[in-house]
Structure 1
């Protein structure tokens, strides 16, 4: 009997996906919460893995340090249930309905989830309740004026909001592509738990609370896959760009553009918005205006996960990928980093070194397959522009090339040193053996030399 079940189990993911194609909330987002491809992940593994808490089944139980937040998730769930009139019966109803969404949930993860239905429903119920309670606790008062108060007899200390430095790291974990739950699970739980608040007339309220929590502009969209997708929709400025094979369109870095007579400057009166990227890049009459990019602790994580989302889907805007490709074209050495910082295009809000910043820009687009035409015209104009005579720009280019060569040599030496230490000198005894061998080789050469002269 077990053998027959095992022979048929491989068909389950196929049946789940096919059965969800007509589901109202899922049909456009089959496999919307997919694992990040290895060609993207290998350049910065940490940018795609949660640091504090897991949401959904992909990273659940993968690391012991993530278990500490599980208790707080349960406390948030309990607090949310105490906002209802009858917590026990409401919990039973939630469990029954979420269990009935098993096929739709599995389809969102590509049908490859190993958890059995009741365990998967438990994950959706716990994580969905935690996210809803977090949204309610952080919601502006005018956005949810009739929110029921929670029963506070379990203590007033909030382990997340009670620590000022904790919330930013929690929010960063909540935007990771692999750390999502389907948005329809949140909306379903909201309608069951608080039907007087999340009514059909304000079907967009969960999305509004989410965007408010992450400080993104409010938008109206018919369907949302998860948190990351919602923030992506809120960020992009042009949906109509043509998708094409990823390629480096900007052929001149910032230093070379300056040598050609291009004036680089940040867009004036540009308001900084936390965790936002300014896509409004303009090139008019020799002046390249770029919205300032504020480099924070979480900037790389956000940009990499937005790019991973764009690379995992067909038919969506690839604005973040094209933006990253443009920045990659601007930077080819630390001299470019220094120039962009000096003029205010790059603003360091963290203690990141210029060397690490260079590594970030160099690797951010490695592994991407597709981009769009957002900056094709700007790049074409920049590549062709030249308003400076050769004698004037020659010293700048020579100095830039010299610095670039020095950086390449230094990088090669550093990589060789790391390979030597990691692969050939893993311990002290091997180091002693290598030093002894080198000394012996030198002595042998000296002996041969003096013997030949004698």
Structure 2
């Protein structure tokens, strides 16, 4: 039986689907053992949403903008301050309970006002972004970087509102949707500009949405019905990408969802098309394309923090980045994956990407492992440790690990072969038949 705390809303995108929003939501403050490795990755820069960072003086400019958004929403919909308060107050205790730590002491009136202004800002932002030409004087367009930073801040774990609150006030303001679009459709349309997922809204039907960070995680995982079993045993690649390449492993980039759709029947096997899709078969390791650009580390760290904090969530996303950390030890590993089209580096030098990946898993606590990844790592290690592959890799490391050494080795082989041939001819001529 479906949880009574969940409600279904209809989503119309190329078809009909339902998405459940759960009032059983938990929003966490990132613990120190994770936060200390990159404080800024978890901290909003320009706007506070929810109570954790509320009241910080550096967000006062955006607080004034929230009030303008509330006035704009009232004019757009005809709802009043009393309408908002009437819907928010019965939910106040439920909303407060979503926050695991008591992070700010707000009275009832101040708490309700904060929720009202934060939701108004989000709804106005989504509506302007999706359906209207942006007013030239709109504050987020004054400086080019500001809107991108707001995008980023809205996805941080500590900067969340329960999704059911946003949905409740959206339904109050737009009983029949906004231009026949549901809240979830507006949300997808807004965040898809980040190019952070390969799924469509229709594929997340029947999955619960707690908040935007949780939704970001869902974007990058297969559908719940396709998630593999997790077991208590763990194992990871013993060798880096370059070492595996020397042992004969071929690296290829996984096809995107659109490529799979275009290929049609060619890809009929049951496999996901998520950003976490890994496959190893016949000596070929298939890895999804990873674009390293500004803001990527923040998004990855916040999803991993969510999986670390919420014991109910399996660490599927974290598994992937632990494996990636084992594959990448040096810049040579990054450069190999760039050459194969797996890594797209928009950050500049390879050292930046290497450092980022190697630091992501500091402080991470492992809870079992994706069974598919476990089997993949077992096969990958066995392949690299096979007699021929191991000795081929050893030969490459000892004699071909640089252009000069490789050239010298080839020259030595040629000289040795010529010397051997000369010796053979000399021996044959010396023992040949003597003339009478």
TM-score when scaled to structure 1? Answer: 0.71
8 A Cα contact 1:84 1:193, kept in partner: yes
Query: How big is each residue's C-alpha offset from its partner over 1:330-372, in whole Å with a ceiling of 9 and x where there is no partner?
Result: 1112221222222221111233x32232221112122222253
8 A Cα contact 2:241 2:328, kept in partner: yes
Query: How big is each residue's C-alpha offset from its partner over 1:15-66, in whole Å with a ceiling of 9 and x where there is no partner?
Result: xxxxxx985579966561111122221111111101111111101233x333
Q: 1:79 aligns with which of 59, 72, 82?
A: 72
Structure 2 Cα separation of the partners of residues 399 and 311 of structure 1: 44
8 A Cα contact 1:255 1:400, kept in partner: no
Correspondence for 1:296: 293
1:101 pairs with 2:94: no
Structure 2 Cα separation of the partners of residues 104 and 165 of structure 1: 35
- The structural deviation recorded for 1:298 is 1.1
Structure 1 Cα separation of the partners of residues 31 and 215 of structure 2: 21
Q: 1:36 aligns with which of 14, 22, 30?
A: 30
- The structural deviation recorded for 1:164 is 4.3
8 A Cα contact 1:265 1:289, kept in partner: yes
TM-score when scaled to structure 2? Answer: 0.74
Query: How big is each residue's C-alpha offset from its partner over 1:410-436, in whole Å with a ceiling of 9 and x where there is no partner?
Result: xxxxxxxxxxxxxxxxxxxxxxxxxxx
Distance 1:158 1:245, change over 3 A: farther
Distance 1:178 1:371, change over 3 A: farther
Distance 1:126 1:55, change over 3 A: same
Query: How big is each residue's C-alpha offset from its partner over 1:75-99, in whole Å with a ceiling of 9 and x where there is no partner?
Result: 22211111023x4xx2211013212
Correspondence for 2:42: 48
Structure 2 Cα separation of the partners of residues 341 and 326 of structure 1: 17
8 A Cα contact 2:221 2:275, kept in partner: no
Structure 2 Cα separation of the partners of residues 27 and 194 of structure 1: 17
Which runs of structure 2 are paired with 1:206-245 in the superposition (5 Å)? Answer: 206-215=183-192, 216=197, 217-218=200-201, 219-221=204-206, 223-239=208-224, 240-244=227-231
Structure 2 Cα separation of the partners of residues 188 and 53 of structure 1: 22
Correspondence for 2:253: 266
8 A Cα contact 2:49 2:154, kept in partner: yes
Q: 1:315 aligns with which of 305, 312, 315?
A: 312
CA RMSD across the alignment: 3.2
Correspondence for 1:176: 156
Q: 2:109 aligns with which of 112, 118, 126?
A: 118
Correspondence for 2:427: none
Which runs of structure 2 are paired with 1:110-189 in the superposition (5 Å)? Answer: 110=100, 112-113=102-103, 114-139=105-130, 157-161=137-141, 163-189=143-169
Distance 1:71 1:330, change over 3 A: same
Structure 2 Cα separation of the partners of residues 375 and 348 of structure 1: 25
Correspondence for 1:5: none
8 A Cα contact 2:21 2:163, kept in partner: no
8 A Cα contact 1:279 1:323, kept in partner: yes
In structure 1, runs of 5+ residues without a counterpart are: 1-20, 142-148, 403-454
Correspondence for 1:356: 352
Correspondence for 2:263: none
Structure 1 Cα separation of the partners of residues 118 and 221 of structure 2: 28
Distance 1:286 1:169, change over 3 A: same
Q: 1:197 aligns with which of 172, 177, 186?
A: 177
Structure 1 Cα separation of the partners of residues 341 and 84 of structure 2: 51
Correspondence for 1:433: none
Structure 1 Cα separation of the partners of residues 152 and 293 of structure 2: 12
- The structural deviation recorded for 1:119 is 1.2
Structure 2 Cα separation of the partners of residues 365 and 399 of structure 1: 34
Q: 1:382 aligns with which of 380, 383, 407?
A: 380
Asked which structure has the greater RCO (Cα within 8 Å, sep 6+), the reply is: 2
SS at match of 1:160: helix
Distance 1:267 1:234, change over 3 A: closer
Distance 1:305 1:390, change over 3 A: closer
Distance 1:367 1:220, change over 3 A: same
